A and B are shown apart, each in its own frame.
Chain A
Amino acid sequence: MLTFVATMTLTAHQRAARSTVVLKVLMAVSGVIMILFLLAHMYGNLKAYAGAQAFNDYSHHLRTIGEPILPYGGALWVIRVVLVAAVLAHMFSAFRLWARSTRARGGVQRYHSPKAKRGVQRTYASFTLRWGGIVIILFVIFHLLQLTFGVVNPGGPADTPYGRLVAGFQVWWVVLAYTVALLAVGFHLRHGVWSALTTLGANASALARKRLNILAHVVTAIITIGFLSVPYSIVFGLVK
């Protein structure tokens, strides 16, 4: 009732602009930005198959994008700022909505009957979305410390990006952590791609719903398999 009183003084437009639908749109748009980044990132990872030289050159070339208009590394910083903003927006809306839905459904424990704990037809992906998101953010922190900043060096320090990549994935638990995180990303994307586009209004008919679900599966498969292929190629000695 407190929220009811507090929002009474706002106009209809202001109330709608502060609604859960707008928070969902914020989550969808930030999610789409991160998906586009993941696709570009995955493309870069696949350069590992072209050898150390190509991989390191690619890494260096990323910093020269936009030169001479932008300074060295400028484009990368623009991307970083956009990404950090997207991550923060995504988490902000996620935690706001998570808290709100827990309250709205009437608490964590809802029905006493143990017979339909997972609902009627919801996917495993949608069921694990929120906790999967937490796994992903923890992994991203570790990932940045390991391969971007080089602070954590499980496989020993290395001077080049390629060196860090190969050294890191010699360690079994790094491969395991990477695998768990990528599976979490996969489940997150399976529901996230569909949900983001639906939130943005793309689910216009039964046919559109079918196509959006296929698209979600395709994007999930490309990103998950693409990212996992490089560390497992290192494990099995295909990339040295």
Chain B
Amino acid sequence: MKITVRVWRQANATAKGRMVSYEVPDVSEDMSFLEMLDVLNDRLTTQGEDPIAFDHDCREGICGSCGVVIDGKAHGPQQTTTCQLHMRSFSDGDVIDIEPWRAEAFPVLKDLIVDRSAFDRIIQAGGFISAPTGAAPDAHAAPIRKEDADDAFDAATCIGCGACVAACPNGSAMLFTSAKITHLGLLPQGQPERRSRVLSMVGQHDAEGFGNCTNIGECTAVCPKGIPLETISRLNRDLLGALVRGGDE
């Protein structure tokens, strides 16, 4: 099939970018979206042009590196990572718009690559857990309710791709932050620092310049891991509790 892509091209962090159109005549519907970009980049390179820069790593949908806004939607028409999106989701003759994540806290570095280190600093603000580690414990050494284990695991599947921020009309990273809060907050290992963690992470979230949550749910609709909106409500409960009771000693 033959498609046209309109791609955001920006030489570096300070340059002014613009949308540029490219024809891609030799697309197979079995290609992943990134393979389509690879084919286009091969041709651009042969023609002596600068290839389109985009983030990618595992291409298995588990690392969270890739992610672009396709036709105005984070990760495109399917609720999955960009690498797991296939060209069969499009039709012959389509014009596809490809843009980087847009948020104050995610400055564009080049073309489709944005700086997501704000996420790392939020994680960092969460600090360590003091639970003793060592060899893997016995499976049932610490009793955990099935529901809690399931919810914690669901939250832990967050790969930090940043689609929630890109989709949120407020540029909020609450879904990401709340997934991290939920993940540790539901498990016994996360209890000793639970209150300090939520205080620090929310403070860092705001300091990075992310917006506020308006409970619209655009984030969960594009999250490749389906992190539910309930996690944000849990973060709010944890934060209010921590504000009243203070941080952990």
Contact = CB atoms under 8 A, between A and B. Distances in A.
A111 interface: yes
B219 to A, nearest CB: 10
Interface in A10-25: 10, 12-13, 15-25
Contact of B211 (A7, A100, A112): A100
B207 A203 contact: no
A16 B234 contact: no
Contacts of A129: 214
B72 A114 contact: yes
Contacts of A17: 243
A111 B69 contact: yes
B105 to A, nearest CB: 7
B7 to A, nearest CB: 10
A199 B172 CA distance: 14
A106 B104 contact: yes
Contacts of A23: 212
Contacts of A126: 214-216
A4 B206 CA distance: 9
A119 B203 contact: no
Contacts of B148: none
B102 A106 contact: yes
B206 A121 contact: no
A20 B206 CA distance: 7
A13 B104 contact: no
A16 B73 contact: no
A201 interface: yes
Contacts of A117: 72
Interface string A183-220: 00000000100110011111111101100000000000
Nearest to A3: B207
B229 A203 contact: yes
Contact of B212 (A18, A97, A113): A97
The majority secondary structure among interface residues of chain B is mixed
Contacts of A116: 71-73
Contacts of B167: 119-120
Contact of B97 (A19, A100, A112): A112
Residue among B6, B69, B203, B230 with most chain A CB within 10 A: B203
Interface string A23-36: 11100000000000
Contacts of A198: 215, 229, 232-233, 236
B159 interface: no
A127 to B, nearest CB: 9
A13 B171 contact: no
Contacts of B71: 113, 115-116
B239 to A, nearest CB: 5
B192 interface: no
Given A15-B200, A104-B170, 4 more contacts: A16-B243, A97-B212, A103-B209, A208-B230
Interface of B: 6, 8, 19, 69, 71-73, 97, 99, 102-105, 167-172, 196, 198-200, 202-218, 221-222, 228-230, 232-237, 239-240, 242-243, 246-247
Interface of A: 3-4, 7, 10, 12-13, 15-25, 97, 100-101, 103-106, 110-117, 119-123, 126, 129, 191, 194-195, 198-206, 208-209
The 7 nearest A-B residue pairs measured at CB: A116-B72, A15-B203, A104-B211, A104-B171, A20-B212, A101-B170, A113-B97
6 contacts: A101-B172, A106-B171, A115-B73, A120-B222, A195-B215, A199-B215
